Protein backbone atom coordinates (compact mmCIF):
# COMPACT_ATOMS: atom_id res chain seq x y z
CA UNK A 1 0.00 0.00 0.00
CA UNK A 2 3.08 2.25 0.17
CA UNK A 3 2.78 3.36 -3.47
CA UNK A 4 -0.93 4.17 -3.09
CA UNK A 5 -0.20 6.27 -0.03
CA UNK A 6 2.74 8.18 -1.50
CA UNK A 7 0.83 9.02 -4.71
CA UNK A 8 -2.15 10.12 -2.65
CA UNK A 9 0.15 12.27 -0.53
CA UNK A 10 1.66 13.81 -3.65
CA UNK A 11 -1.75 15.02 -4.87
CA UNK A 12 -2.64 16.43 -1.48
CA UNK A 13 0.68 18.27 -1.17
CA UNK A 14 0.34 19.76 -4.63
CA UNK A 15 -3.18 20.92 -3.79
CA UNK A 16 -2.19 22.52 -0.51
CA UNK A 17 0.67 24.38 -2.22
CA UNK A 18 -1.50 25.97 -4.89
CA UNK A 19 -3.91 28.50 -3.47
CA UNK A 20 -4.91 29.56 -6.98
CA UNK A 21 -6.21 26.06 -7.68
CA UNK A 22 -8.25 26.08 -4.46
CA UNK A 23 -9.88 29.42 -5.23
CA UNK A 24 -10.27 28.79 -8.96
CA UNK A 25 -12.45 25.74 -8.63
CA UNK A 26 -14.60 27.38 -5.94
CA UNK A 27 -15.75 30.08 -8.33
CA UNK A 28 -18.40 28.24 -10.23
CA UNK A 29 -20.21 26.58 -7.29
CA UNK A 30 -20.21 29.79 -5.26
CA UNK A 31 -21.52 31.82 -8.17
CA UNK A 32 -24.38 29.36 -8.53
CA UNK A 33 -25.06 29.40 -4.80
CA UNK A 34 -25.41 33.16 -4.65
CA UNK A 35 -27.06 33.80 -8.02
CA UNK A 36 -29.57 30.97 -7.81
CA UNK A 37 -29.93 30.86 -4.04
CA UNK A 38 -30.74 34.50 -3.54
CA UNK A 39 -32.24 35.05 -7.00
CA UNK A 40 -34.79 32.27 -6.93
CA UNK A 41 -35.21 32.16 -3.15
CA UNK A 42 -38.29 34.42 -2.89
CA UNK A 43 -40.09 32.73 -5.83
CA UNK A 44 -39.33 29.24 -4.47
CA UNK A 45 -40.71 30.19 -1.08
CA UNK A 46 -43.86 31.74 -2.55
CA UNK A 47 -44.45 28.55 -4.50
CA UNK A 48 -44.44 26.66 -1.22
CA UNK A 49 -41.05 24.99 -1.60
CA UNK A 50 -39.71 26.34 1.68
CA UNK A 51 -36.28 27.90 2.20
CA UNK A 52 -34.45 27.68 -1.13
CA UNK A 53 -30.91 27.91 0.30
CA UNK A 54 -31.86 24.97 2.50
CA UNK A 55 -32.89 23.07 -0.63
CA UNK A 56 -30.07 24.24 -2.89
CA UNK A 57 -27.03 23.92 -0.61
CA UNK A 58 -26.60 20.12 -0.82
CA UNK A 59 -26.68 20.44 -4.63
CA UNK A 60 -24.05 23.16 -4.55
CA UNK A 61 -21.81 21.08 -2.27
CA UNK A 62 -22.16 18.17 -4.71
CA UNK A 63 -21.34 20.58 -7.55
CA UNK A 64 -18.16 21.72 -5.78
CA UNK A 65 -17.05 18.10 -5.48
CA UNK A 66 -18.08 17.24 -9.03
CA UNK A 67 -16.17 20.14 -10.56
CA UNK A 68 -12.89 19.43 -8.76
CA UNK A 69 -13.18 15.67 -9.21
CA UNK A 70 -13.73 15.82 -12.97
CA UNK A 71 -10.91 18.30 -13.50
CA UNK A 72 -8.44 16.22 -11.48
CA UNK A 73 -8.14 14.07 -14.62
CA UNK A 74 -6.12 16.81 -16.32
CA UNK A 75 -3.24 16.01 -13.98
CA UNK A 76 -2.75 12.78 -15.92
CA UNK A 77 -2.34 14.86 -19.08
CA UNK A 78 0.13 17.21 -17.40
CA UNK A 79 2.10 14.30 -15.99
CA UNK A 80 2.12 12.60 -19.33
CA UNK A 81 3.36 15.63 -21.23
CA UNK A 82 5.91 16.68 -18.66
CA UNK A 83 7.33 13.29 -17.89
CA UNK A 84 6.34 12.48 -14.35
CA UNK A 85 3.93 9.80 -15.55
CA UNK A 86 6.95 7.91 -16.93
CA UNK A 87 8.55 7.88 -13.49
CA UNK A 88 5.49 6.12 -12.08
CA UNK A 89 4.93 3.81 -15.04
CA UNK A 90 8.49 2.41 -15.10
CA UNK A 91 8.46 1.77 -11.35
CA UNK A 92 8.01 -1.85 -10.29
CA UNK A 93 4.45 -1.16 -9.15
CA UNK A 94 1.25 -2.58 -10.68
CA UNK A 95 -0.65 0.11 -12.55
CA UNK A 96 -3.75 -0.68 -10.54
CA UNK A 97 -2.03 0.67 -7.40
CA UNK A 98 -0.87 3.77 -9.28
CA UNK A 99 -4.32 4.61 -10.57
CA UNK A 100 -5.80 3.84 -7.16
CA UNK A 101 -3.39 6.27 -5.46
CA UNK A 102 -4.09 8.96 -8.02
CA UNK A 103 -7.85 8.53 -7.86
CA UNK A 104 -7.96 8.56 -4.08
CA UNK A 105 -5.74 11.65 -4.12
CA UNK A 106 -8.04 13.42 -6.58
CA UNK A 107 -11.09 12.36 -4.57
CA UNK A 108 -9.57 13.66 -1.34
CA UNK A 109 -8.96 17.05 -2.92
CA UNK A 110 -12.52 17.10 -4.23
CA UNK A 111 -13.62 16.39 -0.65
CA UNK A 112 -11.57 19.34 0.61
CA UNK A 113 -13.29 21.56 -1.94
CA UNK A 114 -16.66 20.15 -0.93
CA UNK A 115 -15.88 20.94 2.71
CA UNK A 116 -15.02 24.54 1.82
CA UNK A 117 -18.26 24.94 -0.17
CA UNK A 118 -20.13 23.41 2.78
CA UNK A 119 -18.64 26.04 5.08
CA UNK A 120 -19.58 28.86 2.73
CA UNK A 121 -23.13 27.46 2.56
CA UNK A 122 -23.31 27.61 6.35
CA UNK A 123 -22.27 31.25 6.18
CA UNK A 124 -24.96 31.87 3.54
CA UNK A 125 -27.60 30.61 5.96
CA UNK A 126 -27.73 26.87 5.38
CA UNK A 127 -28.52 24.82 8.50
CA UNK A 128 -27.92 21.09 9.05
CA UNK A 129 -31.15 19.71 10.49
CA UNK A 130 -29.82 16.59 12.18
CA UNK A 131 -26.18 16.64 13.21
CA UNK A 132 -26.19 12.87 13.84
CA UNK A 133 -26.65 12.42 10.09
CA UNK A 134 -23.33 14.13 9.27
CA UNK A 135 -21.45 10.82 8.85
CA UNK A 136 -24.03 9.75 6.24
CA UNK A 137 -23.56 13.08 4.44
CA UNK A 138 -19.81 12.51 4.55
CA UNK A 139 -20.24 9.06 3.02
CA UNK A 140 -22.22 10.53 0.10
CA UNK A 141 -19.56 13.18 -0.44
CA UNK A 142 -16.91 10.46 -0.58
CA UNK A 143 -18.88 8.44 -3.12
CA UNK A 144 -19.52 11.49 -5.34
CA UNK A 145 -15.82 12.36 -5.16
CA UNK A 146 -14.65 8.85 -6.07
CA UNK A 147 -17.17 8.32 -8.86
CA UNK A 148 -16.37 11.57 -10.66
CA UNK A 149 -12.62 11.46 -10.07
CA UNK A 150 -12.82 8.10 -11.82
CA UNK A 151 -14.64 9.79 -14.71
CA UNK A 152 -11.81 12.35 -14.79
CA UNK A 153 -9.30 9.48 -14.87
CA UNK A 154 -11.09 7.91 -17.83
CA UNK A 155 -10.93 11.12 -19.87
CA UNK A 156 -7.42 11.94 -18.66
CA UNK A 157 -6.22 8.53 -19.84
CA UNK A 158 -7.99 8.54 -23.19
CA UNK A 159 -7.45 12.13 -24.31
CA UNK A 160 -4.03 13.29 -25.37
CA UNK A 161 -5.07 16.80 -26.26
CA UNK A 162 -4.57 19.22 -23.41
CA UNK A 163 -6.97 21.75 -24.90
CA UNK A 164 -9.75 19.23 -25.50
CA UNK A 165 -9.86 18.16 -21.86
CA UNK A 166 -11.30 21.31 -20.27
CA UNK A 167 -13.69 21.78 -23.18
CA UNK A 168 -15.10 18.29 -22.74
CA UNK A 169 -15.22 18.58 -18.96
CA UNK A 170 -17.08 21.88 -19.11
CA UNK A 171 -19.46 20.25 -21.55
CA UNK A 172 -20.10 17.52 -18.97
CA UNK A 173 -20.26 19.56 -15.76
CA UNK A 174 -23.31 21.63 -16.69
CA UNK A 175 -25.67 18.83 -17.84
CA UNK A 176 -24.59 16.64 -14.90
CA UNK A 177 -25.36 19.51 -12.55
CA UNK A 178 -28.59 20.77 -14.11
CA UNK A 179 -30.08 17.29 -14.55
CA UNK A 180 -29.30 16.15 -11.03
CA UNK A 181 -32.09 17.73 -9.04
CA UNK A 182 -29.55 20.08 -7.50
CA UNK A 183 -31.55 23.21 -8.33
CA UNK A 184 -35.14 21.98 -8.62
CA UNK A 185 -37.23 19.21 -6.96
CA UNK A 186 -37.51 15.99 -8.95
CA UNK A 187 -41.26 15.62 -8.44
CA UNK A 188 -43.66 16.32 -11.27
CA UNK A 189 -41.08 16.90 -14.01
CA UNK A 190 -41.74 16.32 -17.72
CA UNK A 191 -40.97 12.71 -18.74
CA UNK A 192 -37.80 13.52 -20.70
CA UNK A 193 -36.35 15.38 -17.75
CA UNK A 194 -37.24 12.54 -15.38
CA UNK A 195 -35.43 10.14 -17.68
CA UNK A 196 -32.36 12.37 -17.82
CA UNK A 197 -32.23 12.80 -14.05
CA UNK A 198 -32.69 9.13 -13.27
CA UNK A 199 -29.70 7.99 -15.39
CA UNK A 200 -27.45 10.70 -13.92
CA UNK A 201 -25.29 9.29 -11.10
CA UNK A 202 -25.05 12.74 -9.53
CA UNK A 203 -28.83 12.72 -8.96
CA UNK A 204 -28.40 9.99 -6.34
CA UNK A 205 -25.50 11.82 -4.76
CA UNK A 206 -27.44 15.07 -4.47
CA UNK A 207 -30.53 13.27 -3.23
CA UNK A 208 -28.55 11.33 -0.64
CA UNK A 209 -26.69 14.41 0.52
CA UNK A 210 -29.90 16.38 0.76
CA UNK A 211 -31.57 13.55 2.60
CA UNK A 212 -28.75 13.32 5.12
CA UNK A 213 -28.45 17.07 5.70
CA UNK A 214 -32.05 18.29 5.60
CA UNK A 215 -34.33 15.21 5.46
CA UNK A 216 -36.69 14.51 2.64
CA UNK A 217 -34.76 12.42 0.08
CA UNK A 218 -36.87 11.60 -2.97
CA UNK A 219 -35.55 8.04 -3.35
CA UNK A 220 -34.54 7.04 0.17
CA UNK A 221 -30.98 7.02 1.46
CA UNK A 222 -30.53 3.27 1.01
CA UNK A 223 -31.35 3.36 -2.68
CA UNK A 224 -29.24 6.48 -3.19
CA UNK A 225 -26.28 4.85 -1.51
CA UNK A 226 -26.63 1.60 -3.43
CA UNK A 227 -26.98 3.23 -6.86
CA UNK A 228 -24.15 5.71 -6.33
CA UNK A 229 -21.94 2.99 -4.83
CA UNK A 230 -22.43 0.73 -7.84
CA UNK A 231 -21.79 3.65 -10.20
CA UNK A 232 -18.61 4.57 -8.32
CA UNK A 233 -17.41 0.95 -8.41
CA UNK A 234 -18.02 0.57 -12.14
CA UNK A 235 -16.40 3.92 -12.98
CA UNK A 236 -13.38 3.02 -10.84
CA UNK A 237 -12.91 -0.24 -12.75
CA UNK A 238 -13.36 1.47 -16.12
CA UNK A 239 -10.96 4.26 -15.10
CA UNK A 240 -8.32 1.75 -14.01
CA UNK A 241 -8.74 -0.13 -17.27
CA UNK A 242 -8.15 2.95 -19.41
CA UNK A 243 -5.26 4.10 -17.25
CA UNK A 244 -3.58 0.70 -17.54
CA UNK A 245 -3.73 1.01 -21.33
CA UNK A 246 -1.81 4.30 -21.47
CA UNK A 247 1.19 4.09 -23.76
CA UNK A 248 4.03 6.54 -23.51
CA UNK B 1 42.52 -15.21 -22.12
CA UNK B 2 40.57 -14.24 -19.04
CA UNK B 3 37.03 -15.44 -18.60
CA UNK B 4 34.56 -13.03 -20.19
CA UNK B 5 32.21 -11.20 -17.83
CA UNK B 6 28.57 -12.26 -18.08
CA UNK B 7 26.43 -9.99 -20.20
CA UNK B 8 24.15 -7.54 -18.42
CA UNK B 9 22.12 -6.77 -21.54
CA UNK B 10 21.60 -9.20 -24.41
CA UNK B 11 19.59 -8.21 -27.47
CA UNK B 12 18.79 -10.61 -30.35
CA UNK B 13 17.10 -9.60 -33.61
CA UNK B 14 15.23 -6.81 -31.84
CA UNK B 15 12.68 -5.15 -34.13
CA UNK B 16 10.11 -2.40 -33.67
CA UNK B 17 7.77 -1.32 -36.41
CA UNK B 18 5.29 1.55 -36.36
CA UNK B 19 2.94 0.78 -39.26
CA UNK B 20 5.21 0.40 -42.29
CA UNK B 21 8.12 2.16 -40.63
CA UNK B 22 10.86 -0.04 -39.17
CA UNK B 23 12.25 2.13 -36.37
CA UNK B 24 14.50 -0.69 -35.15
CA UNK B 25 15.38 -3.42 -37.60
CA UNK B 26 16.69 -6.75 -36.28
CA UNK B 27 19.49 -5.42 -34.14
CA UNK B 28 21.63 -7.69 -31.97
CA UNK B 29 24.23 -6.68 -29.41
CA UNK B 30 25.27 -7.35 -25.86
CA UNK B 31 26.64 -5.23 -23.06
CA UNK B 32 29.04 -6.91 -20.62
CA UNK B 33 28.40 -6.33 -16.92
CA UNK B 34 30.20 -3.31 -15.52
CA UNK B 35 30.91 -1.66 -18.86
CA UNK B 36 30.07 1.88 -19.92
CA UNK B 37 28.32 1.43 -23.23
CA UNK B 38 27.63 4.27 -25.66
CA UNK B 39 24.73 3.92 -28.06
CA UNK B 40 25.12 6.51 -30.79
CA UNK B 41 23.23 7.49 -33.89
CA UNK B 42 21.71 10.44 -35.74
CA UNK B 43 18.25 11.76 -34.83
CA UNK B 44 15.53 9.27 -35.65
CA UNK B 45 18.00 6.36 -35.96
CA UNK B 46 16.17 4.27 -33.35
CA UNK B 47 18.11 5.06 -30.16
CA UNK B 48 15.24 6.16 -27.99
CA UNK B 49 12.96 3.43 -29.36
CA UNK B 50 15.59 0.86 -28.37
CA UNK B 51 15.97 2.33 -24.88
CA UNK B 52 12.20 2.32 -24.47
CA UNK B 53 12.10 -1.40 -25.32
CA UNK B 54 15.00 -2.21 -22.99
CA UNK B 55 13.33 -0.34 -20.15
CA UNK B 56 9.87 -2.00 -20.49
CA UNK B 57 8.12 1.12 -21.78
CA UNK B 58 7.57 -0.19 -25.29
CA UNK B 59 6.82 -3.74 -26.44
CA UNK B 60 9.10 -5.03 -29.22
CA UNK B 61 7.55 -6.19 -32.51
CA UNK B 62 10.08 -9.02 -32.67
CA UNK B 63 13.29 -10.42 -31.20
CA UNK B 64 14.37 -11.00 -27.64
CA UNK B 65 15.84 -8.90 -24.83
CA UNK B 66 17.43 -9.94 -21.57
CA UNK B 67 18.31 -7.31 -18.98
CA UNK B 68 20.06 -8.67 -15.90
CA UNK B 69 18.68 -12.08 -16.87
CA UNK B 70 15.06 -10.91 -17.16
CA UNK B 71 12.82 -10.45 -20.17
CA UNK B 72 11.19 -6.97 -20.17
CA UNK B 73 8.04 -8.35 -21.81
CA UNK B 74 7.53 -11.41 -19.62
CA UNK B 75 8.74 -10.01 -16.30
CA UNK B 76 8.73 -6.20 -16.49
CA UNK B 77 8.80 -5.70 -12.71
CA UNK B 78 12.02 -7.71 -12.31
CA UNK B 79 13.64 -5.65 -15.05
CA UNK B 80 12.34 -2.42 -13.51
CA UNK B 81 13.92 -3.28 -10.18
CA UNK B 82 17.29 -3.89 -11.88
CA UNK B 83 17.43 -0.67 -13.86
CA UNK B 84 17.64 3.04 -13.23
CA UNK B 85 16.64 5.48 -15.94
CA UNK B 86 17.38 9.11 -16.71
CA UNK B 87 15.01 10.04 -19.51
CA UNK B 88 15.70 12.43 -22.34
CA UNK B 89 12.91 14.69 -21.07
CA UNK B 90 12.62 15.67 -17.43
CA UNK B 91 10.39 13.39 -15.36
CA UNK B 92 10.42 15.08 -11.96
CA UNK B 93 7.41 16.53 -10.19
CA UNK B 94 8.36 20.19 -10.14
CA UNK B 95 5.83 21.10 -7.47
CA UNK B 96 7.55 18.83 -4.95
CA UNK B 97 10.90 19.36 -3.23
CA UNK B 98 14.05 17.45 -4.17
CA UNK B 99 13.64 15.31 -1.08
CA UNK B 100 9.99 14.58 -1.83
CA UNK B 101 10.82 13.49 -5.37
CA UNK B 102 13.44 11.14 -3.98
CA UNK B 103 11.12 9.85 -1.28
CA UNK B 104 8.38 9.12 -3.79
CA UNK B 105 10.85 7.10 -5.84
CA UNK B 106 12.06 5.24 -2.76
CA UNK B 107 8.51 4.22 -1.83
CA UNK B 108 7.61 3.20 -5.40
CA UNK B 109 10.70 0.98 -5.49
CA UNK B 110 9.90 -0.52 -2.10
CA UNK B 111 12.96 0.71 -0.23
CA UNK B 112 12.63 -0.02 3.50
CA UNK B 113 11.55 2.94 5.61
CA UNK B 114 14.50 2.41 7.90
CA UNK B 115 17.54 4.21 6.55
CA UNK B 116 15.54 5.79 3.71
CA UNK B 117 16.31 9.36 4.74
CA UNK B 118 20.01 8.63 5.11
CA UNK B 119 20.12 7.01 1.70
CA UNK B 120 18.33 9.92 0.04
CA UNK B 121 20.77 12.34 1.68
CA UNK B 122 23.69 10.20 0.57
CA UNK B 123 22.68 10.33 -3.10
CA UNK B 124 21.78 14.02 -2.93
CA UNK B 125 25.26 14.61 -1.55
CA UNK B 126 26.73 12.49 -4.36
CA UNK B 127 25.28 14.89 -6.99
CA UNK B 128 26.01 17.92 -4.75
CA UNK B 129 22.39 18.86 -4.15
CA UNK B 130 22.17 18.19 -0.43
CA UNK B 131 21.95 21.91 0.35
CA UNK B 132 18.90 22.17 -1.95
CA UNK B 133 17.19 19.17 -0.38
CA UNK B 134 14.03 20.99 0.73
CA UNK B 135 13.67 23.39 -2.20
CA UNK B 136 10.83 23.06 -4.68
CA UNK B 137 12.17 21.57 -7.91
CA UNK B 138 10.51 24.25 -10.03
CA UNK B 139 13.28 26.67 -9.05
CA UNK B 140 16.08 24.33 -10.20
CA UNK B 141 18.28 25.03 -13.24
CA UNK B 142 18.56 22.52 -16.07
CA UNK B 143 21.80 21.12 -14.69
CA UNK B 144 20.37 20.71 -11.21
CA UNK B 145 17.33 18.93 -12.58
CA UNK B 146 19.51 16.47 -14.44
CA UNK B 147 21.66 15.83 -11.39
CA UNK B 148 18.57 15.24 -9.28
CA UNK B 149 17.23 12.82 -11.87
CA UNK B 150 20.54 10.98 -11.77
CA UNK B 151 20.45 10.76 -7.98
CA UNK B 152 16.88 9.50 -8.14
CA UNK B 153 17.73 6.86 -10.76
CA UNK B 154 20.50 5.57 -8.48
CA UNK B 155 18.49 5.51 -5.29
CA UNK B 156 17.40 1.88 -5.56
CA UNK B 157 20.96 0.86 -6.49
CA UNK B 158 20.24 -0.50 -9.96
CA UNK B 159 22.45 -3.00 -11.78
CA UNK B 160 22.11 -1.07 -15.03
CA UNK B 161 21.78 2.65 -15.49
CA UNK B 162 20.12 3.91 -18.69
CA UNK B 163 20.87 7.49 -19.68
CA UNK B 164 19.13 8.95 -22.73
CA UNK B 165 21.12 12.06 -23.69
CA UNK B 166 21.93 12.90 -20.08
CA UNK B 167 24.01 15.94 -20.94
CA UNK B 168 21.89 17.49 -23.70
CA UNK B 169 21.58 21.25 -23.31
CA UNK B 170 23.90 21.51 -20.31
CA UNK B 171 26.97 23.70 -19.93
CA UNK B 172 30.43 22.10 -20.13
CA UNK B 173 30.96 22.29 -16.37
CA UNK B 174 27.77 20.41 -15.59
CA UNK B 175 28.45 17.90 -18.35
CA UNK B 176 31.85 17.16 -16.87
CA UNK B 177 30.32 16.74 -13.45
CA UNK B 178 27.66 14.35 -14.70
CA UNK B 179 30.22 12.16 -16.46
CA UNK B 180 32.52 12.12 -13.47
CA UNK B 181 29.61 10.93 -11.28
CA UNK B 182 28.86 8.21 -13.78
CA UNK B 183 32.47 7.11 -14.10
CA UNK B 184 32.97 6.94 -10.35
CA UNK B 185 29.77 4.93 -10.08
CA UNK B 186 30.99 2.47 -12.67
CA UNK B 187 34.37 2.18 -11.00
CA UNK B 188 33.21 1.91 -7.40
CA UNK B 189 29.98 -0.06 -7.73
CA UNK B 190 30.50 -1.87 -11.01
CA UNK B 191 27.22 -0.47 -12.33
CA UNK B 192 26.64 -1.13 -16.01
CA UNK B 193 25.92 2.09 -17.89
CA UNK B 194 24.03 2.35 -21.18
CA UNK B 195 23.90 5.86 -22.59
CA UNK B 196 23.11 7.84 -25.72
CA UNK B 197 24.55 11.23 -26.63
CA UNK B 198 25.14 13.54 -29.55
CA UNK B 199 28.39 14.83 -28.09
CA UNK B 200 30.95 12.58 -29.75
CA UNK B 201 33.91 13.79 -27.70
CA UNK B 202 32.01 12.73 -24.57
CA UNK B 203 31.34 9.29 -25.98
CA UNK B 204 35.01 9.02 -27.00
CA UNK B 205 36.17 9.95 -23.53
CA UNK B 206 33.70 7.97 -21.43
CA UNK B 207 32.50 4.93 -23.36
CA UNK B 208 34.41 1.67 -23.16
CA UNK B 209 32.32 0.25 -25.96
CA UNK B 210 30.19 1.88 -28.61
CA UNK B 211 27.49 0.79 -31.01
CA UNK B 212 26.39 3.10 -33.80
CA UNK B 213 22.84 2.71 -35.04
CA UNK B 214 21.48 4.22 -38.23
CA UNK B 215 18.17 3.66 -40.03
CA UNK B 216 17.28 1.11 -37.36
CA UNK B 217 20.38 -1.04 -37.94
CA UNK B 218 23.69 -1.25 -36.12
CA UNK B 219 26.37 -0.06 -38.52
CA UNK B 220 29.45 -0.28 -36.30
CA UNK B 221 30.53 -1.75 -32.97
CA UNK B 222 33.62 -1.69 -30.82
CA UNK B 223 35.84 0.42 -28.62
CA UNK B 224 36.15 4.10 -29.67
CA UNK B 225 39.75 3.52 -30.78
CA UNK B 226 38.73 0.64 -32.98
CA UNK B 227 35.96 2.64 -34.63
CA UNK B 228 38.29 5.52 -35.37
CA UNK B 229 40.85 3.12 -36.82
CA UNK B 230 38.32 1.39 -39.03
CA UNK B 231 36.91 4.63 -40.37
CA UNK B 232 40.45 6.06 -40.71
CA UNK B 233 39.30 9.11 -38.79
CA UNK B 234 41.09 11.27 -36.24
CA UNK B 235 38.11 11.87 -34.01
CA UNK B 236 35.04 9.84 -33.17
CA UNK B 237 32.95 12.62 -34.68
CA UNK B 238 34.66 12.15 -38.05
CA UNK B 239 34.25 8.39 -37.76
CA UNK B 240 30.59 8.88 -36.92
CA UNK B 241 29.99 11.06 -39.98
CA UNK B 242 31.90 8.65 -42.21
CA UNK B 243 29.71 5.82 -40.98
CA UNK B 244 26.34 7.57 -41.01
CA UNK B 245 26.71 10.09 -43.86
CA UNK B 246 26.37 13.83 -44.12
CA UNK B 247 22.66 14.25 -44.73
CA UNK B 248 20.57 15.91 -42.04
CA UNK B 249 17.86 13.71 -40.58
CA UNK B 250 14.38 15.07 -40.46
CA UNK B 251 12.79 14.05 -37.23
CA UNK B 252 9.13 14.68 -36.79
CA UNK B 253 8.77 17.37 -34.16
CA UNK B 254 6.60 16.33 -31.28
CA UNK B 255 3.97 18.65 -29.95
CA UNK B 256 6.01 18.88 -26.77
CA UNK B 257 7.54 22.28 -27.40
CA UNK B 258 4.23 23.98 -27.97
CA UNK B 259 2.88 22.16 -24.93
CA UNK B 260 5.69 23.56 -22.82
CA UNK B 261 4.82 27.06 -23.91
CA UNK B 262 1.19 26.48 -23.11
CA UNK B 263 2.12 25.26 -19.69
CA UNK B 264 4.11 28.37 -18.95
CA UNK B 265 1.14 30.51 -19.86
CA UNK B 266 -1.13 28.32 -17.76
CA UNK B 267 1.15 28.65 -14.77
CA UNK B 268 1.17 32.42 -15.02
CA UNK B 269 -2.58 32.48 -15.14
CA UNK B 270 -3.00 30.36 -12.03
Q: Is A90 on the interface with B (CB under 8 A)?
A: yes
Residue of chain B with shortest Cα separation from A98: B108
Q: B270 pLDDT band (50/70/90 cuts)? A: very low
Q: Is A83 on the interface with B (CB under 8 A)?
A: yes
Instruction: Render each residue's pLDDT in chain A as its tens digit; 248 residues.
Output: 899 999 999 999 999 988 787 888 788 888 999 999 889 888 888 888 888 988 999 999 999 999 999 999 999 999 998 889 999 999 999 999 999 999 999 999 999 999 999 999 999 889 888 888 899 999 999 999 999 999 999 999 999 888 899 999 988 999 999 999 899 888 888 999 999 999 999 999 999 999 999 876 778 889 999 999 999 999 999 999 999 888 87
Interface contact flag, B93 A3, Cβ < 8 Å: no
Interface contact flag, A81 B81, Cβ < 8 Å: no
Q: How far apart are CA B204 and CA B228, in angstroms?
A: 10
Residue of chain B with shortest Cα separation from A15: B95
Q: Is A27 on the interface with B (CB under 8 A)?
A: no
pLDDT of res. A91: 93
Of A6, A24, A79, the CB nearest to B108: A6
Q: Work out the minimum CA distance from B270 to partner chain A, whole angstroms.
A: 5
Q: Which residues lie across from B16 on neighbouring strands?
A: B24
Interface contact flag, B80 A89, Cβ < 8 Å: no
Torsion, Cα A29 A31 A32 A33, to 10 degrees, reads 80
Interface contact flag, B105 A91, Cβ < 8 Å: yes
Q: What is the pTM of this model?
A: 0.86
Q: Is A135 on the interface with B (CB under 8 A)?
A: no
- Name all domains of chain B by residue range, CATH numbers in brackets: 7-93+153-269 (3.40.50.300)
Phi, psi of A201 (to 5 degrees): -60, -30
Of A3, A86, A247, the CB nearest to B107: A3
Interface contact flag, A20 B103, Cβ < 8 Å: no
Residues counted in chain A: 248
Report the candidate in A72, A103, A61, A97 with the shortest Cα–Cα distance to residue A235.
A103
Q: Which residues in chain A are contacts of B87 at CB distance < 8 A?
A: 83, 86
Interface contact flag, B85 A90, Cβ < 8 Å: yes
Q: Which residues in chain A are contacts of B82 at CB distance < 8 A?
A: none
Interface contact flag, A5 B259, Cβ < 8 Å: no
Q: Which residues lie across from B7 on neighbouring strands?
A: B32
Q: What is the ipTM of this complex?
A: 0.86
Contact of B94 with B138, CB cutoff 8 Å: yes
Of B76, B93, B110, the CB nearest to A2: B110
CA distance readout (Å), B10 to B56, B64, B67, B190, B216: 14, 8, 7, 18, 17
Q: Work out the minimum CA distance from B90 to partner chain A, whole angstroms.
A: 6
Exposure class string for A150-167: b at 16+ Cβ within 10 A, else e? bbbbbbbbebeebeebee
Contact of A68 with A109, CB cutoff 8 Å: yes
Each residue's pLDDT tens digit, B73-85: 999 999 999 999 9
Interface contact flag, A92 B107, Cβ < 8 Å: no
Sheet hosting strand B21-32, strand order edge to edge: B21-32, B7-18, B62-67
Q: Which residues lie across from B12 on neighbouring strands?
A: B64
Interface contact flag, B87 A24, Cβ < 8 Å: no
Interface contact flag, B103 A10, Cβ < 8 Å: no
Q: Work out the minimum CA distance from A170 to partner chain B, whole angstroms.
A: 17
Amino acid sequence: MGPVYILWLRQVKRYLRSRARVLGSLGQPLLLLFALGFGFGPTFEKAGGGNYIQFLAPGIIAMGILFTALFSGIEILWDRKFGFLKETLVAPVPRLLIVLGRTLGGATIAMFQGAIVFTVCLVAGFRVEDLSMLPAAFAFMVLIAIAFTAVGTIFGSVLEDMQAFPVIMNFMVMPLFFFSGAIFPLKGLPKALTAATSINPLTYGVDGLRGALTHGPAFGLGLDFAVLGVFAGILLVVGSYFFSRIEL
Amino acid sequence: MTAAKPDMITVRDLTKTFGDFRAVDQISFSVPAGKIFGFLGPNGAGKTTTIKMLTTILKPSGGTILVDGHDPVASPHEVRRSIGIVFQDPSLDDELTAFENMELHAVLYGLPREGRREKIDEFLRFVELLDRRDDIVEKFSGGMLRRLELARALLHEPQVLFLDEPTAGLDPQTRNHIWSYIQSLSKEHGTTVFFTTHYMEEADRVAEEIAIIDHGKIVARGAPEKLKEEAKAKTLEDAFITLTGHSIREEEASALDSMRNMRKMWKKRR
